[in-house]
Chain A
Amino acid sequence: MTKGIWVVVEQRDGEIKKVTYELLSEGRKVADQLGEELAAVLLGSGVSDKAASLGEYGADKVYVADNAALANYTTDGYTNVLAALAQKYEPYAILLGCTSNGRDLAAQVAQRLSTGLMSDCIGMELADGQLAFTRPIYAGKALVKACCPDARPVMATIRPNIFAVESAAKTAGVIAEDADPGAIRQVVKEVIKQESTRPELTEANVIVSGGRGMKAPENFSVLEELADVLGAAVGASRAAVDAGWISHSFQVGQTGKTVTPTLYIACGISGAIQHLAGMSSSKCIVAVNKDPEANIFKVADYGIVGDLFEVVPLLKEELKKIMA
């Protein structure tokens, strides 16, 4: 019996991100196999009322550090609190979402606790009685299974959209913690939100992406219209980003974001290895490209050889009909 598996809650402005529920759901399974308790760790300001709901996804316990100094995520504030809690309770494992904040926090806490951290994992299992994680390396061109044999806690960041959310009717015990956020050297001067009603790329269930075939920045409106019918995010290949048609924050691929949506629609994307690395673990891939020899067709579940400016609006209309 060790001391529990922890899931660090990802929240922004009090809104809990889906990856938290994914980690709790999968964490529940390994916790049961190990005979461990599953705890959620919630850091923020004015977030206490969210704590009990985490039981619905499998948490036995919720540690809450509710402190005005934790209103905004800061590396120092969150590291100081999470590391202090880990030193107090000595959990067996700490899981975080592989998000901008999760990745940032995990590295600091792992070093402070002198332990190992497996990043951007896509699989979690028990191997010889200990937690092992599978993670892509070389941008998904290979996979490594790894563990942290001696150091504790075992730490991992896990890619969003990998594990299914499952409800578990648990009543979570809520424990208020007063760990000190300490001196915070990062001063948040401004938070700039992109004005978009579409989901964020790495969290999206459906992504409509454009490449060199888009030809001009204004043509992305064709993809946006399809995206709006599907409730999808818009993405882009490196070619489109390097041409200056769309910002790098939309780039999918080895030097951009790695995504795992249920449906990925690649429009005018040739399928360079650098792009495939970022999206080939999507559950279903659709490709629309003029070139029948394009590499993207080798990974696409469904392909249409044709002009995207003709096909995409038609597809939008057909989907609208079906989904009505």
Chain B
Amino acid sequence: MKIVVCLKQTFDTEAKIVINADGQIERKGVSLIMNPYDEFAVEEGLKLKGKDGEVTVVTATGPEGQDALRQALAMGADKAILVDPGRADIDEFTTATILAKAIAGLEYDLIIGGFRAIDDGSAQVAGRVAEILGLPVVNVVTKLEVADGKAVATREIEGGSEVIEVPLPAVITAQKGLNEPRYPSMKGIMQAKKKPMQKTTAAELGLDEAALAPKVKALSFTLPSARAAGRLVPGEAPEAARELARLLREEAKII
């Protein structure tokens, strides 16, 4: 089976966020990782591709994104494509437009991505890609079976889950629980260096300024106000519990 995995590089989950003098999120000095949800997507692709299959990983970012692609190659993906948007002001519409254009030129049975990225948390790029390519989508998937030209996916919903069947090719987005992503082996890391990585630009794919113009505009970035330090309720457990119950009722007035 031929599988395309969309991924992106994000800030490390432990990264501290700083707003710089220009009012933008400071990117310098931040360690980057593959978006954790995209790791589930890569792993699922590797599990499903089969003997004669192929996993192609695609990202729409500047050259810094190639580390995440290399990691995917080291995990076992076969080839990688990096498309530089060529502009900084990109939104989900722009990213999806680029990814869909890059994928449209490939052969595929299945497209997988993380259901959201931990940086912008938008959870919309894969869905938009499906819409552009005219493919069915199932989001937030924790279990996936593919057979006979169909995907049967378990999708997480509030208070439960649903089992959804879609014809292939389809777009699936991965939720935690889908699998346990493998760590790249030493051999994998060595092999990754020899695997093909195509670097191109949105312009080279034939997307002009108008096609890439974002729909959403950021007006300002702020840091959330720190929570006021609370207080410890003193005493041994029985007194502390009694006092806490009283505070929740009389002071916080929420019980």
Contact = CB atoms under 8 A, between A and B. Distances in A.
B88 interface: no
Interface in A266-318: 273-274, 280-281, 283-286, 292, 297-307, 310-311, 314-315, 317-318
A119 B122 contact: yes
Interface in B1-48: 11, 13-17, 19, 25, 36-37
Interface in B159-215: 159-167, 170, 175-177, 214-215
Nearest to A99: B158
A320 to B, nearest CB: 9
Contacts of A194: 159-160
29 contacts: A107-B92, A107-B131, A110-B93, A112-B131, A137-B120, A139-B121, A141-B16, A141-B223, A143-B224, A145-B221, A148-B216, A151-B215, A185-B136, A191-B160, A191-B162, A192-B160, A192-B161, A194-B159, A255-B37, A304-B233, A304-B237, A306-B240, A311-B237, A314-B238, A315-B245, A318-B241, A318-B244, A319-B255, A322-B246
What 4 A-B pairs have minimum CB-CB distances, sorted nearest first? A116-B215, A107-B127, A107-B124, A318-B245
**Counting chain A CB atoms within 10 Å of each CB, which of B14, B159, B249 scores highest?**
B159
A307 B167 contact: no
A286 B176 contact: no
A323 interface: yes
Contact of A142 (B156, B163, B221): B221
Contact of A301 (B132, B242, B252): B252
Nearest to A10: B158
A300 B215 CA distance: 39
A146 interface: yes
A68 interface: no
Interface in A102-122: 103-104, 106-108, 110-112, 114-120
Interface in A214-256: 230, 247-249, 251, 254-256
B93 A298 contact: no
B229 A138 contact: no
A20 interface: no
B28 to A, nearest CB: 15
B123 interface: yes
Contacts of B109: none
Nearest to B97: A111
A135 B227 CA distance: 18
Nearest to B11: A138
A120 B214 contact: no
Contacts of B156: 100, 249
A146 B177 CA distance: 32
A121 B233 CA distance: 34
Interface residues of B, number: 81
Interface stretch (A31-39, A51-59, A173-181, A196-204): A196-204
Given A142-B19, A188-B162, A283 B123 contact: no
**Counting chain A CB atoms within 10 Å of each CB, which of B15, B216, B247 scores highest?**
B216
Given A100-B156, A192-B163, A108 B131 contact: yes
A164 interface: no
Given A108-B127, A119-B123, A196 B221 contact: no
Interface of A: 12, 72, 74-76, 79, 99-101, 103-104, 106-108, 110-112, 114-120, 127, 132, 135-151, 185-194, 196, 200, 202-203, 230, 247-249, 251, 254-256, 262-263, 273-274, 280-281, 283-286, 292, 297-307, 310-311, 314-315, 317-319, 321-323
A131 to B, nearest CB: 12
A117 B91 CA distance: 9
**Counting chain A CB atoms within 10 Å of each CB, which of B139, B158, B161 scores highest?**
B158
B145 to A, nearest CB: 11
Contact of B36 (A140, A255, A301): A255
Nearest to A120: B121
Given A111-B96, A127-B219, A147-B217, A101 B157 contact: yes
B93 A203 contact: no
Contacts of A117: 92, 122, 124, 215-216
A186 B165 contact: yes
A227 B237 CA distance: 19
